Each structure stands twice: as C-alpha cells, then as structure tokens.
Structure 1
Amino acid sequence: MPDGARRRWSVAREAHADPQVAVGCRVPHRQQATPSFADAYRGGTLDDAFAIAPSDVDAALVAERPVQRDALVSALRAAHAVWGARDAARSSLEKLAHPEARVVVTGQQIGWLLGPTFTLSKAATAISLARRLDTPERPVVPVFWMATQDHDVDEMDHAWLLGRDERLTRLSIGVPAGPAVGRAALDPADVVEARSALRRLDGAGEHADDVDALLAEACEGQRWSDGFARLMLRLFGDAGLLVVDPLDPAVAVLWRDALERELDDPGMSAAAITKAGSRLAERGWPPLLGRGDDASNLFV
C-alpha cells in the first residue's frame, strides 16, 4: 500500500474508533423493493395525494385562498420591528401587501443556535424559489414559520457544533418541559456559555468576532423565540426572508376560523390524517403520523 493511502486509512480507522469524529464514507447502493418516498414525491407518483400537485407551481400561483392580508401584514410589520428587521425584510412586507402576492413557506422547530443545518437549507431554498417565481405583477415572498408551539424540548434544547479538530461538541440550554418552547425565557447565562464555547471551538477563526457579535446582539431579548427570529433575520433578512411566530397574538387570531372548524367537527382532521396514512401504507410506506378515531388536533 502506498504511504499516502496508508496514512489515509490510518486516519479513517482512528476516526471510526472515535464516535466524536465526523467521517465521510461511500456505502454500496442497494436497489429498494419500494421506491423511496422522496423519489416518489419528485417523480409525481404522489401527486394525487395533494389538492395541487407539488410539481404544478403554476396552479399554486393562481389558486385563490381567503386571506386576511392587511391584518397579517400589520402583525408581521410590528413583529419585525421588534426583531430589528432591515430594509430588505421591510421591503418584503410591502410586497406581501400587494393584492396578488404569494408566499413560499418553509419552517422548523426553534432549535438552540438555529438547530440542525437543514434549518438553514430550508430558508435558503425558500428564498431561491421565491426569487425565481417573483414578478412585479405577482410578488412572491419567502417566509419562515417558527414552530414555536412545539413542546418537544429535548429535540430543541441543544446544538451540535463541529470544532476545528473535527470533534463534535454538544451545547445545551436549560428549558423547562411543559409549555410551548416559544414562551420559554432565554437565560443570559446560556448565551454567555454558548459564546464562550464558540470561542473555544473556533479559536482565532476568521469570522470568530462576527459570530460572537451576532449571537450577543440577536439573543439580547427575553424570549428564546425572539433570539431565534433575530438570528434568522440577521442571516437571511437581507435576502428578503420574513419570519412568522404563530404564538404572536396578532397572528394567532388569524387562525380563528380553522380552530372553530375543528371545534365544530373535531374528528374531521384526524380522519383525514388517518386516511392519508392508509393510502401511504397501501403504496408501501409506513405512515409517519396517526390519530385515534376520537382524537382532535386542537390543543388547549
């Protein structure tokens, strides 16, 4: 074995012995008996499961839906002022007020330090798609929905960071279990610890000072959700991204009609979820969600 190859093998072997070290490897591909869900989605096999096929962007752009546009824009304008949104985000609010405006919506749990990297990928993808579809006659605005109503604290109270030594470090934050995470207070001590940990991991890195200043500025508020929103807007606000907090009372009131429908017929949405899961099971994919016959999707 050549010396270079021997050294690479030695590094890979040591890395595999240490679960803290990230290692890339190539795994032989095996043809699945049932196509993957992602392939079926992209290939159009699941189009009949949607009111509008995912690939039919033109139909989605012209679909008419009831919307309380003025109230929504007013609520988002107030929230973005609190979060310190910059000019591009404020411009997106003006575009959203256009009577023909549409949105590209993505979202994720409000993980500590923005959580997993696919949170960033989702935001970047929404921005890219909105830019491609945007026209003066029909503005298209990218929107990030913060899942502030989520209660799964153990999925959001930490972040994994990769140091320069290629070792993973877990940073955790103290959040009480029970209430919606969006209502949780942000402990300044957790912010100080995160900033110190990032300094230790990044050392004298090229962007260390910028990252430290970003975190200090974004997390100066009292609520965890506000810190998340500020971080997202500092990173993506200049690209026109808007952020929505469904726990904001001025936003939450806009879902009143949906909640009233759930109260009037509490089994309707659960039945729809069960039916969709059964259709997936018939095609070879186990359903990821399920609701009991008497279940409701209304949480109090």
Structure 2
Amino acid sequence: MPSDCIPFRETNYFSSLICDYLDQKVDLKPFYNRYPSLENFKDQIKEKQGAFSDENRKVLVDALHRQYNEVDNSDETLKNIELLSQPSTFTITTGHQLNLFTGPLYFLYKIISTINLSSTLKKQYPEYDFVPIYWMATEDHDFDEINYFNLFGKKIRWNRADGGPVGVFDTDGLDKVFEIFSSEIGSGNNAERLKNLFKEAYLKHKTLTEATRYLANELFKEYGLVIIDGDDPGLKRLFVPYVKKELLEQTAYKKALPKADGLVASGYKAQVNPREINLFYLGDELRERIIEKDEGYFVNETDITWSKTQILKELSDFPERFSPNVMMRPLYQEIILPNLCYIGGGGELAYWLELKDYFEEVEIPFPMLLLRNSVVIKTQKQSEKIKKLNVSDKELFLKQHELINLKVRKISNIDINFDTQRIHLQEQFKDMFELAEQTDVTFLNAVKAQEIKQLKGLDVLEKRLLKAQKRKLSDHVKRLTNIQNELFPNHSLQERTTNFSEMYLEYGEDLIPMLVEYLDPLNGEFLVLER
C-alpha cells in the first residue's frame, strides 16, 4: 500500500524550522524539552506523573462525563474516560478548529496520529495507559477560517452572521449547505453514508460544538478517541491561578517574547508574537481581548472595564468568561490533561517552540512536540497514469515547471542540454584570453563580454528548444499537468485542501482503517499511499 516515504525536507512544503527540528539541530534544543522518540517517553511519564494531581483528574473526568452525557459512546471511549481517573493513565493530544465537515484532510491525519501513538506507547509501556484526545477549539473566533470546505475544486461555504466564539454558533443555515453538498456528491452507497453523516451532525444538533463532537465521535469512536471541550466551567476553574498570574504579571509576554526573539536570532521566523495580556473575555456573541490600561483593565471594542480588584473578583466568580489566546491555550491544555505529547502541524509546533521558558516559569511540564503524519493518497487510476508517465513519487513534489522541464528533457528524442556546446565555446575562448592578455585591458574586457554574450545566446537557444519540444510533446505535458493538479490541488498539498469526503467516495468505510493501518507518527517522513 505505501508506495514511498519522503523526507519532509525533500518535499519543499515544510519550513526550515520544522525540518531542522526533525533533524534535531543543536540550535533548537533550548526550545523544547524532549524529542519525541519512543525511549524518551519514559522520562516524560515520570515528570508528568509527579506534577498532575488526583484532584485535577477528578475534575477532568467529571467534565468529560458532562460533555458526553448525550453522546452515543463506544465502549472504548467510555473505558478511556474512566481510565483517566487513574494515576497510571496519560494522554496524547491533538487540537483542531471546528472546521465545517472536518475541513481539509489533515483533520483525519492529526487524530489518527494521536490514536496510533497511544497504541504504540501501550505496547512499549504496558504498565501504563494512553488515551488519544481531540481538543476542540470551541473558543476560537476566526469564523472565516472554518465556515467552508473544498469539494471537487469548489468551495462550499456556510454563510451566517459572525461574532463571538464559534463553538456556541447555532447550526441555522446548514440545511442550505447540505442541499449543495448532496447535489455535488451524487448517489451511491458511499455518497448516501456521507449525506447521512452530514445530516445527523449538522441538522440534528443545535450548536457547532455539538455537531463537531458528533462527527468526530462517529468517525473515531471505535478507536477510543476522547473529545474534549475546554470551554467548561469546571475545567476553567483549574486555570484560575494562571489567569490571575497573567493579569497581574504578564508572564507569557515576559517569557515567550525572548524565546520568539531567540528563534529569529537563529534565522527562523517567529510564528506568533505574544501580547502583554494573552486573554480574551467571553460574553454573548463576544470574544474580545483584555487590555491593561491606567492600572485597570478593559475589553477591546466594548465599554466593559474593571479595576484590579474587580477583575480578580470577576475571575473568581466567573472563570468560564476568561479565554486563553494562542499563547496561553497550550498551558491551559497541559494544566487540565495528564498529557505527554502534543501532535500538530508545522505552524502549531512553531508557536509551541516559543513557550518552553513560560512553562518552566509556571512550573508545568512542557510536553513533547510531534509533527503529525502527512500523506498524499493516490487512487488506483492515478497510480496507473503516473506509471505510464514514468514519474516517481519524489518527482511529483517538484514545482510544476520543474517537473515538466525534467520530463520533457528525459523523453525528448533530441538532446535539450547545451552543456557540451558551452564547454566547447569556453575552450575556444581560452585561446582568445591568452591573446588578449598580451594586449591592453580594453581588448581583454571585449573578449570577456563576447564570451558572456555567446553563453547567454546558448541559454536562449536552449530555452527556445525546450519550449518547442513542449509544444511537440503537448499531450504528454498536459497529462503530467493534470495528474499533478489532481494530487496537489492549487499547487498545494492534497491534505491542506481536499475534504475527506472525496476520499470517502472512493474508499468508503475502508478509508479510516486504511489510514490507521499505515500512518506511523514516529516515522518522521511524508507518506505516499496508493491503492
């Protein structure tokens, strides 16, 4: 089934920061705790076990029981929730926005990476239990990032008024999205299952949080996935001491900013710059920044203000109204979960790498950071086309013009490489240079200029010959272009654009078991699958 594994660096789709992290470059070691190797989990378990209290476990399990009260649970998920009350149980966590109908394919890859790592760790450390966690980003407010998914090159969008955390959005209007989706995917057993999944998730649940929980649970409940919503009063109360510290001391800013500057000094780009206060305030259709000013606090774009005493009372009485931003959300996660490892994409890991000193300051163990699995899936028909075109998996990752030029040169019945002529020309000019050196500098410069001109002329002729051959081989070029566009839509990775429903139409109920079988989160390479 797997046709190739390609180093992330060789795909040219991942930043130097992430590639260097995977290579465990010395310059990056101050930015993380332990690299996620199987052996290193032993010390991570000990560190987290000593720092996570039984009281936190009780609050966590109680919150999960509330959240799963009306969910059709699998025995595996119920078992995992109960296991979280035991001091020998730990979590492996990934997080994702509440994208409509999962959004891009990598939603699946994140969760499957989490499931498979939990399973691998259980085999390595049988005396412990490991629970895969999907953290729903219910408090996120970037509606424009989640209100659509791509299907067959078209964007299917949910149009509604924006404002506040997306998790509490009602699902009004998604019946119109369902009509468009249904007409696009047609009929057949797989299409009908997809329609039913969308209908049950979005037309029979009141909020986006409920719909997303249902959808993720239906896809992964047999693997024991536990889905958590951090927007929970009981869980938020555990976070109160750290919110208070943030309000009074601006700890995240003071500790994360130097780390971000350190990444820049090492030649990388800082993913996120911390604010002085990294908290939002939640209200009806409201999630706005908390800002300190004149020894008091106010909520951006509102008339809400507090003195220092008042905001601390508000925090004590209503902790659920305080929401962490991107810099503090990782800390909140690690406070309420007995977590060992966070699995995310390149952009996520980049901002986690700014947080190690912050975690040390507040005395919370910094989790291991693991890049999620990345996959491109080729159907059987696509694989056959690729073989006929004699294109390797690695060549598919080339920029399109590079791929076309490479293959046209290879299949052309004439040589489109003028290197031999260049060498011959340069040999001829050697004699001219020897003669020129016996005269004055003006003649020498004239010879040099003439050599450059003629070499450029050869470059122009080579390009024109290549262009002519492309026209002659236009059918081959078109087929090359089409197959690469299918696998890399919009010249991007398949997983960042394509919705899982396209793959489900092809593979049906075999899709997720197939991915679970072949995705190895500790493999450290980009996977090409064909079937």
Measured after TM superposition, the shift of residue 31 of structure 1 is 11
CA distance in 1, matches of 2:60, 2:11: 47
Residue 258 (structure 1) aligned with residue 242 (structure 2): yes
1:44 corresponds to which residue?
24
Residue 287 (structure 1) aligned with residue 270 (structure 2): yes
Measured after TM superposition, the shift of residue 112 of structure 1 is 0.9
1:150 corresponds to which residue?
140
Conserved? CA contact 2:92–2:130, under 8 Å: yes
1:74 corresponds to which residue?
62
1:25 corresponds to which residue?
none
Conserved? CA contact 2:252–2:274, under 8 Å: no
Task: For 2:136, give the aligned amino acid.
Answer: M
Where is the helix percentage greater, Structure 1 or Structure 2?
2
CA distance in 1, matches of 2:71, 2:213: 7
Secondary structure in structure 2 of the residue aligned to 1:179: coil
The count of corresponding residues between Structure 1 and Structure 2 is: 261
TM-score, normalising length from structure 1?
0.80
CA distance in 1, matches of 2:145, 2:154: 16
1:7 corresponds to which residue?
none
> CA 1:31 to 1:104, structure 2 compared with 1: closer, same or farther past 3 Å?
closer
* Deviation digits for residues 179-226 of structure 1 (CA, Å, limit 9, x no counterpart): 011121111x31x22332232222123311111222222221111111
Task: For 2:72, give the aligned amino acid.
Answer: G
Measured after TM superposition, the shift of residue 30 of structure 1 is 8.7
CA distance in 1, matches of 2:17, 2:57: 35
CA distance in 2, matches of 1:30, 1:216: 41
2:507 corresponds to which residue?
none
CA distance in 2, matches of 1:199, 1:177: 25
More deviation, 54-63/281-290: 54-63
Task: For 1:50, give the aligned amino acid.
Answer: Y
1:176 corresponds to which residue?
161
* Deviation digits for residues 81-119 of structure 1 (CA, Å, limit 9, x no counterpart): 223222221111122122111100100111111122111
CA distance in 1, matches of 2:83, 2:52: 18
* Deviation digits for residues 27-61 of structure 1 (CA, Å, limit 9, x no counterpart): xx9999xx812221112222321233444322222
Residue 215 (structure 1) aligned with residue 203 (structure 2): no
TM-score, normalising length from structure 2?
0.47
1:1-300 to 2 correspondences below 5 Å = 36-45=16-25, 46-55=28-37, 56-63=40-47, 64-67=50-53, 68-134=56-122, 135-162=125-152, 168-187=153-172, 189-190=173-174, 192-219=175-202, 220-265=204-249, 267-292=250-275, 295-300=276-281
Conserved? CA contact 1:148–1:245, under 8 Å: yes
Task: For 1:151, give the aligned amino acid.
Answer: H
Measured after TM superposition, the shift of residue 136 of structure 1 is 4.8
Measured after TM superposition, the shift of residue 239 of structure 1 is 0.5
Q: Percent identity?
A: 25
More deviation, 60-69/268-277: 60-69
Task: For 2:243, give the aligned amino acid.
Answer: L
Measured after TM superposition, the shift of residue 71 of structure 1 is 1.1
CA distance in 1, matches of 2:223, 2:258: 39
CA distance in 1, matches of 2:209, 2:263: 34
Question: Which has the greater radius of gyration?
Answer: 2
Measured after TM superposition, the shift of residue 176 of structure 1 is 3.0
Bigger relative CO (Cα 8 Å, ≥ 6 apart): 2
CA distance in 1, matches of 2:266, 2:80: 41
Q: Which runs of 5+ in 1 are unaligned?
A: 1-28, 163-167
Task: For 1:181, give the aligned amino acid.
Answer: V
CA distance in 2, matches of 1:291, 1:263: 14
Task: For 1:149, give the aligned amino acid.
Answer: E
CA distance in 2, matches of 1:242, 1:31: 32
More deviation, 109-118/38-47: 38-47
CA distance in 2, matches of 1:202, 1:284: 46
Secondary structure in structure 1 of the residue aligned to 2:156: strand
Q: Which runs of 5+ in 2 are unaligned?
A: 1-8, 282-531
CA distance in 1, matches of 2:132, 2:115: 5
* Deviation digits for residues 231-265 of structure 1 (CA, Å, limit 9, x no counterpart): 00100111011111111223322322321221231
Where is the strand percentage greater, Structure 1 or Structure 2?
2
> CA 1:182 to 1:175, structure 2 compared with 1: closer, same or farther past 3 Å?
farther
CA distance in 1, matches of 2:200, 2:234: 25
> CA 1:30 to 1:223, structure 2 compared with 1: closer, same or farther past 3 Å?
closer
> CA 1:31 to 1:199, structure 2 compared with 1: closer, same or farther past 3 Å?
closer
Measured after TM superposition, the shift of residue 129 of structure 1 is 0.2
Secondary structure in structure 2 of the residue aligned to 1:151: coil
Conserved? CA contact 2:74–2:224, under 8 Å: no
Secondary structure in structure 2 of the residue aligned to 1:142: strand
Measured after TM superposition, the shift of residue 72 of structure 1 is 0.4
